[in-house]
């Protein structure tokens, strides 16, 4: 889960430094996530290039729940509130992004 939090922090940093909306897209059907420029109508055009654009895969013991969603980060250092559910080894973990601080945290639930 450290990799997920690191990519979310990078999206926030890039949004502030580059004065552009960034996001991390989560695709439960693929059990994957990736960094993208946010706000593009065509998702294929919003993928960024280079090292950070790689699709990242969750370990096979983890599963994402729900619909495809994006954790969005804005140039003013804020974020859209988002909750994403992960399941691993029979435990639920909820990823939350605080809209004021843009920090990600995990809540564990049995």
| pLDDT for 49 beyond 50 | yes
Dump pLDDT digits (tens) for 11-32: 999 999 999 999 999 999 899 9
**Interstrand relation of 104-109 and 56-57 (parallel, antiparallel or unpaired):** unpaired
From the options 3.10.129.10, 3.40.50.11540, 3.90.950.10, 3.55.40.10, give the CATH code of 2-40+53-109. Answer: 3.55.40.10
| pLDDT for 54 beyond 70 | yes
Domain ranges of the chain: 2-40+53-109
CA distances from 89 to 22, 26, 62, 65, 82 (A): 31, 20, 7, 14, 23
Classify residue 30 by its DSSP letter. T
């Amino acid at each position: 889960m450290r990799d997920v939090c690191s990519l979310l922090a990078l999206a926030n940093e890039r949004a502030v430094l580059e004065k552009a909306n960034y996001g991390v897209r989560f695709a439960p059907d693929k059990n994957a996530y990736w960094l993208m420029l946010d706000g593009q109508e065509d998702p294929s055009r919003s993928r960024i290039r280079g090292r950070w654009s790689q699709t990242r895969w969750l370990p096979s013991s983890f599963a994402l729940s729900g619909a495809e969603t994006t954790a969005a980060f804005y140039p003013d250092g804020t974020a859209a509130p988002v909750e994403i559910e992960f399941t691993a080894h029979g435990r639920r973990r909820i990823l939350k992004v605080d809209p004021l601080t843009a920090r990600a945290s995990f809540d564990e639930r049995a």
